[in-house]
Amino acid sequence: MGDGSERRDQIIVIARRLIAARGYSATTVRDIADEAGILSGSLYHHFASKEAVLQEILHGFQHDTLSAFERIAASGGSARERLDQLIEHAFLTIEQRPDDVRIYQNETGFLMTQPGFEFLADGAARIEELWLDQIMEGQETGVFRDTIDPRLAFRFIRDTVWSTVFWFRPGGSHTAASMSENYLDLLHHGMLTVEG
């Protein structure tokens, strides 16, 4: 258990969609098994528990996201460019893996303290570190205004970006690119005109 068979993958795909739509606790093992065309008990041939399915979804998503963030943080360019890239990557992730993001946003709060999900807190801390580095470097180099508590700034930005997953619908009037553009504009220059 842990290697990826076809059924395993199929179950993960189904579970991801269902859990994103209904929430983890409202999604039953039977729901998942039904869609996979097997009996609910048979699911335990592939996963040790319902929780293990969730764990795998979250762990995979966190791993991918964190990897991308690490890569961006280690890349060249200014702090401002790197912060922009972090934000752009987040918007892109929301467009490409909305179910993962939704699950992460919905279930992570409660789960963080549960045994077996310690990696969530670790990952969140590492992400905060990576983003914060850019903000603080930007403030130190005089690119970012330093009147704002950098920790607050990070959380404001993080919450704004990830929350869009709950209402952003690709195919509507916006794309990940236009969302990034709008948000970065607002974040960079604020709402007020020069005269305002």
Residues in contact with DNA by the rule CB under 7 A: 5-7, 27-31, 37-46, 48-51
C-beta neighbour count of 167 within 10 angstroms: 7
Gap between the Cα atoms of 125 and 133, Å rounded: 12
Residue 195 interacting with a second copy (CB under 8 A) = yes
Residues in the chain: 196
Of 80, 92, 98, 133, which one interacts with a second copy (CB under 8 A)? 80
Q: What SS3 state is found at 78?
A: coil
Rounded CA separation 135/86 (Å): 11
Query: Residue 44 carries which DSSP code?
Result: G
Q: How far is the CB of 131 from a second copy (least distance, A)?
A: 12
Question: Does the protein bind a second copy through residue 185 (CB under 8 A)?
Answer: yes
Q: Which of 148, 144, 58 is nearest to 107 (CA)?
A: 58
* Binding partner of residue 45 among a second copy, DNA, none, CB cut-off 5 to 8 Å per kind: DNA
Residue among 2 and 171 whose Cβ is closer to DNA? 2
Distance of alpha carbon 103 from alpha carbon 88, whole angstroms:
20
Is position 129 an interface residue for a second copy (rule: CB under 8 A)? no
Is 122 a residue that touches a second copy (CB under 8 A)? no
Mask 47-76, x = binds a second copy (CB under 8 A)?
------------------------------
C-alpha to C-alpha distance for 65 and 90, rounded to whole angstroms: 8
Give the binding site for a second copy (CB under 8 A): 22-23, 25-26, 80, 109-110, 138, 142-145, 147-149, 152-153, 155-156, 159-160, 163-164, 166-167, 174, 179, 182-183, 185-193, 195-196
